[in-house]
Amino acid sequence: MTTSATAHNTIYVGDQIQGIPVISQLDLNDLEPGRMHRFFFQGVQMGTGQHWYVPIIVAKGIREGKRICLSAGVHGDELSPLEALRRIMEALDPERMSGAVIAVCGISRPAIEYIRPHWPISQSGGLSVDINRVWPGDEGGENAPTRQAGILWQRLFKNNTDVALDYHTVSTGSDFTLFLFADFRQTEVQQIARLFPSEQIKNDPGLTGTLETAFIEAGIPALTIEIGAARRFDTCKIALAVEGSLNVLKHYQVMEGPISRTSKEAGTFFGDTFETIRAKVGGFLELLVDLKDKVIPGQQVAIQRNAFGDIVATYTAGVSGEVATIARDALGEPGTRVMQILYDSTAPENQ
């Protein structure tokens, strides 16, 4: 098993929740090989002094090997990732594995409880924080989600991970393809991204504060997998995400078996830039294209109507590419994201 230069130990706090032991720090080296382990990870305190607990599952193989971290529930309305992690872990047999797989099944506990994207806090009369803008966090930070990120980063992620896959969906009210954000400046990241039979991949340098970027900046190859729409299980896209994830585990010889379909077989569309189309006015949205549709400059892609049925706005593509995200909510205020078109900025047709 790959080990950190710094000594760590798994810390059991002495409590159990529904028969599952609670830990406040994980060291994979402490765990018995050839077994599936379940824990509740003790996170940040609530205002009452109790803690938020994150379910984690660890499949530890019988041989040394890569440590793969799978994370879901960074945003509370993104539920398909939780089902993807369940299916991945169900496919593993620790008695035949090398290395370890850690599934972190719900980082933003209060957001998940209320199926909302951001972590609600009580400061200033009630605010919400996007925890995917504060990584790697700070255990002594200014609010609970920043501290949650710091606790998980220092005590769970940083010293137990060789490769990281972070699973998301688009926000509530929209829809996404099976889509990957991957920093192609990292050769290993590009290699593992191509192992997914994804519909689209964006060569993306990452945003400061995201979990993916925190891993990359720590020298840990990572990518973000987007699994369709929020608040539901998108079964077809979950299956694609699981297939690609198992390919990654086979690639690193964590599990046995032949590589299944990859981006080559799936005909994945690659791009490096989004054209984001936003509503100019308020009105009822009528989409003229759907996910994965190819578009060209000048092509009409959506219209808006007022309450009388009059067309009040039309929207056209400005690039050649593929539709990656679309609004599913029929009513849009000014500024609402209507769609995003993924395109290759280096292609001659986009010059």
* Pair (112, 217) in one structural domain: yes
Residue 200 sits in the same domain as residue 92: yes
Query: Residue 30 sits in a domain of what CATH number?
Result: 3.40.630.10
- Collapsing DSSP to helix, strand or coil, 75 comes out as coil
Question: Residue 314 sits in a domain of what CATH number?
Answer: 2.40.50.100
Kindly state whether residues 208 and 226 are assigned to the same domain. yes
Give the domain extent around 318.
272-350
Please report where in the chains the tokens 């806090």 appear, as a residue: 121
Rounded to a whole number of angstroms, the CA Rg of the chain reads: 21
pLDDT of 8 higher than 90: no
Kindly state whether residue 1 falls inside one of the protein's structural domains.
no
Going by C-alpha positions, the residue among 88, 52, 63, 64 that lies closest to residue 3 is 64
Residue 272, CB-side half-sphere exposure with 13 Å CA sphere = 11
| pLDDT, tens only, 62-113 | 999 999 999 999 999 999 999 999 999 999 999 999 999 999 999 999 999 9
DSSP lists the bridge partners of residue 303 as 286, 314
Q: If DSSP codes are grouped into helix, strand and coil, which group holds residue 301? A: strand
pTM over 0.75: yes
DSSP-derived secondary structure for 36-91: EEEEEEEEEE-TTS-EEEEEEEEEE-SEEEEEEEEEE-SSTT--HHHHHHHHHHHT
Measured CA to CA, the distance from residue 202 to residue 328 in angstroms comes to: 22
Instruction: With respect to residue 190, please indicate whether it lies within any of the assigned structural domains.
Output: yes
Strands 300-305 and 283-287: antiparallel
Q: Residues 239, 309: one domain?
A: no
> How many angstroms separate the CA atoms of 295 and 302, rounded?
12
Name which of 197, 152, 119 is nearest 53 in CA terms. Answer: 152
- The span from the first CA to the last CA of the chain, in angstroms, equals 49
pLDDT band at 2 (very low <50, low <70, confident <90, very high): very low
Q: What tokens does 85 get?
A: 């992690």
What DSSP assignment string belongs to 154-180?
Answer: IIIITTT-SEEEEEE-PPTTEEE-EEE
Q: Edge-to-edge strands of the sheet including 311-316?
A: 311-316, 300-305, 283-287, 331-332
pLDDT tens per residue, range 132-145: 999 999 999 999 99
Section 323-351 average pLDDT: 97
Residue 222 has a pLDDT of 98
> What is the predicted pLDDT for the residue at 236?
97
| Together in a domain, 81 and 196 | yes
